[in-house]
Amino acid sequence: MAVLRYQLDSRMIHGQVSAFARNLNIEFFLIVNEDTANSDTDVMLLELAALNTELEVVSPEEAYDILTHGELDDYRTMVVFKYITDVKEIIDLGYRFDELSISGMYARDEENKTKVETNLFVDDEDLKNFRYFEDNGVVLTHQIAPEYKKKFVRDIVKY
């Protein structure tokens, strides 16, 4: 079945992300962030949050290898990126996908971000990355939970 959803949310697995997972009958979470992958405590907390769903926490390079070698083709998978830089890194490595749903880019992650929508705070570097993603074929959407309407990021903020 392979990857059903690519999500960007700095909180990784929480109620809203879990709601998408339930709606899609997700069997496997691939969490992408090197610092998180190297933290036993963070991995343990994510395993608890994932409940009965299999989980692996990896760096962008490891995610690239897993995804390009088809290791998750037998699972209904959700890929969750912690930060926009994790997305950029996997695209820089040559991995392509059609859509990235942004459910949480928060102001507390970095200073000087401007709120453009609920749970969507951006700075100039983020806007530059948005352009880069779309130039590489990735449509950006914003939807914080399944019950909310999906919006195209390009209709929310110009980049």
What CATH code is carried by the domain that includes residue 78?
Answer: 3.40.35.10
- Structural domain including 151 reads 2-156
pLDDT of residue 112 exceeding 90, the answer is no
Structure tokens at 3: 């990857």
The DSSP-derived string for the chain is: -EEEEEEEETT-SSHHHHHHHHHHT--EEEEE-HHHHT-HHHHHHHHHHTTTSEEEEE-HHHHHHHHHTTTTTTSEEEEEESSHHHHHHHHHTT---SEEEEEEB-GGGSSS-EEEETTEEE-HHHHHHHHHHHHTTPEEEE-SSTTSPPEEHHHHS--
Q: What is the pLDDT of residues 29-76, one digit of tens each?
A: 999 999 999 999 999 999 999 988 999 999 999 999 999 999 999 999
pLDDT band at 109 (very low <50, low <70, confident <90, very high): low
How many domains, in total, are found in the chain?
1
| pTM listed for this prediction | 0.94
Other C-beta atoms lying within 10 Å of the C-beta of residue 99: 13
Contacts of 1 (CB under 8 A, 6+ apart): 73, 74, 75, 76, 77
Per mean pLDDT, which range of 2-11, 13-22, 132-141 is the poorest?
13-22
Q: How many Å apart are CA 37 and CA 24, to the nearest integer?
A: 25
